[in-house]
Amino acid sequence: MVFASPRPALRPWQLLALVMALNLIVLWFSNEYVLTRETYQRLLSDRLEASRVDEYFDFARRLRIWGYVLTPLVVVVRVGFMALALQLALLLLLIEVPIGRLFRLALWASLALLAGTAVREVLLAALDPATLSLARLSVVPGSLASVTMDLEDFRAPLYGLLNFVNPFELAWCAIMAAGIADGKKLKPVTAASVVVSVWMTVTVLAWGLLSFLNRLRS
């Protein structure tokens, strides 16, 4: 079965450029208003002298240029990976959806995740730098972890897993499911099942990788 691609509201390159630009804006906001010198002083003062913290901050600030340079590549890789994963799941059901359509759909859905990041950064920027901690930086607004677990448990693996369950991730799933369902060849329930299965698989893999890296650093 092959789905015909609807005429997009934006051309693919325009949509991709928009998503990249918005990601860069959110990254800039985080660098300028969240990860400030005061934040570094607050997080590192118990381990480093004030002068060393300032040196560390200046070094990190010089490295930020690479974050801006690599952000477009990260966007393409992340969106492309999710589009390919979803296409593979659909092919297992003998349903063919053009990769271009899935990539464009994943770009739209990525705006939901970006909105979550933006909300989180704005909330952090509104806090007094003196109250910031690694625990607060780990909070995802509206996540299952933030409403069912104590903030002190932010290092627990379960906290990291439940952080992925939040309104913005669920909005991503809803956008993807609505985009591939046509009510005939692929029913909404089936589309939702496929999308959620892919999301759960990728989420567990990402959580496992983050848990492994955190264990190496501890």
Condensed to tens digits (0 to 9), the pLDDT of residues 39-80 reads 888 888 777 777 788 888 888 888 899 999 999 999 999 999
Two tokens, residue 97: 């959806």
User: Which is more confidently placed, 155 or 81?
Assistant: 81
Question: 19 pLDDT exceeds 60?
Answer: yes
- What pLDDT, on the 0 to 100 scale, is given for residue 217? 65
**Strand pairing partners for 96?**
2
Task: Report the mean per-residue pLDDT for the chain.
Answer: 89
The DSSP letter of residue 2 is B
| Inter-CA distances, 14 with 9, 35, 52, Å | 10, 30, 44
Picking from 38-52, 86-100, 103-117, which range would have the lowest pLDDT averaged per residue?
38-52
Query: Residues 89-109: what's their mean pLDDT?
Result: 92
Question: 6 pLDDT exceeds 60?
Answer: no
pTM: 0.88
Residue-wise pLDDT tens digits, 161-208? 999 999 999 999 999 999 998 766 788 899 999 999 999 999 999 998
- What pLDDT, on the 0 to 100 scale, is given for residue 10? 81
Distance, in Å, from the CA atom of 162 to the CA atom of 31, rounded to the nearest integer, reads 26
**Strand pairing partners for 2?**
96
Q: Could you count the other beta carbons within 10 Å of the beta carbon of residue 210?
A: 15
The residue type found at 152 is E
Using the Cα atoms of residue 149, residue 153, residue 155 and residue 157 in order, give the sign of their dihedral. Answer: negative
Distance, in Å, from the CA atom of 26 to the CA atom of 124, rounded to the nearest integer, reads 13
- What pLDDT, on the 0 to 100 scale, is given for residue 48? 73
CB 166 within 8 A of CB 144: yes
- What pLDDT, on the 0 to 100 scale, is given for residue 186? 83
- What pLDDT, on the 0 to 100 scale, is given for residue 8? 56
* DSSP string covering 34-52: TS-HHHHHHHHTTTS-HHH
Using the Cα atoms of residue 11, residue 13, residue 16 and residue 17 in order, give the sign of their dihedral. Answer: negative
Backbone φ and ψ for 165, nearest 5 degrees, come out as -90, 95
